[in-house]
């Protein structure tokens, strides 16, 4: 004996493209931007070494692994600054951009003062600018104006 069961069709579910995707959280955007900046800076340092820039400070070579680690650290600091700006500033995006550009400028001072040659100073300064150029806009776009 077979039974014929009929079911009531359920209403069609909306397709994924019917709903706008929610933007990724700010911390994820910052981590991705930091990872991109870390790769870019590692490539920058590798190319600099390839063209015989010594990349030494006080006679000691800068470890290649220090470059992505410090770049990620900077991105994490940017994520924290963005979080504080989002919670406390009247104009979070502007406060974040002004603060991080100021900190980027301040980060160039040690590069000018360290005991090394001019080429190494320039590569280190460029690495700071590359990281800032990638992470600051990515995080700023995720903040209210």
Total domains present in the chain: 1
Q: Is residue 134 part of a domain?
A: yes
pLDDT at 99: 98
Mean pLDDT in runs of 10 for the chain (145 residues)? 64 65 90 98 97 94 95 97 96 97 97 94 97 98 93
On whether the CB atoms of residues 55 and 111 are closer than 8 A, the answer is no
Question: 143: closest CA among 20, 29, 36?
Answer: 29
Q: Is residue 18 part of a domain?
A: no
pTM of the model: 0.82
On whether the CB atoms of residues 96 and 87 are closer than 8 A, the answer is no
Domain holding 39, by residue range, is: 24-140
Radius of gyration, alpha carbons of the chain: 23
Q: Is residue 10 part of a domain?
A: no
Q: Is residue 116 part of a domain?
A: yes
Secondary structure, 3-state, the chain: CCCCCCCCCCCCCCCHHHCCCCCCCHHHHHHHHHHHHHHHHHHHHHHHHHCCCCCEECCEECCCCHHHHHHHHHHHHHHHHHHHHHHHCCCHHHHHHHHHHHHHHHHHHHHHHCCCCHHHHHHHHHHHHHHHHHHHHHHHCCCCC
pLDDT at 29: 96
Q: Is residue 83 part of a domain?
A: yes
pLDDT at 22: 82
Q: Is residue 14 part of a domain?
A: no
Q: Is residue 92 part of a domain?
A: yes
């Amino acid at each position: 004996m077979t039974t014929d069961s009929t079911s009531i069709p359920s209403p069609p579910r909306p397709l994924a493209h019917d709903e706008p995707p929610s933007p990724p959280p700010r911390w994820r955007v910052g981590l991705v931007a930091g990872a991109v900046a870390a790769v870019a800076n590692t490539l920058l340092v590798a190319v600099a070494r390839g063209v015989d820039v010594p990349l030494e400070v006080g006679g000691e070579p800068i470890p290649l692994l220090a470059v992505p680690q410090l770049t990620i650290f900077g991105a994490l600091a940017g994520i924290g600054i963005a979080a504080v700006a989002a919670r406390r500033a009247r104009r979070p995006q502007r406060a974040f951009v002004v603060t991080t550009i100021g900190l980027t400028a301040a980060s160039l001072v040690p590069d000018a003062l360290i005991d090394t040659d001019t080429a190494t100073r320039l590569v280190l300064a460029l690495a700071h600018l590359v990281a800032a150029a990638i992470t600051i806009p990515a995080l700023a776009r995720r903040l209210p104006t």
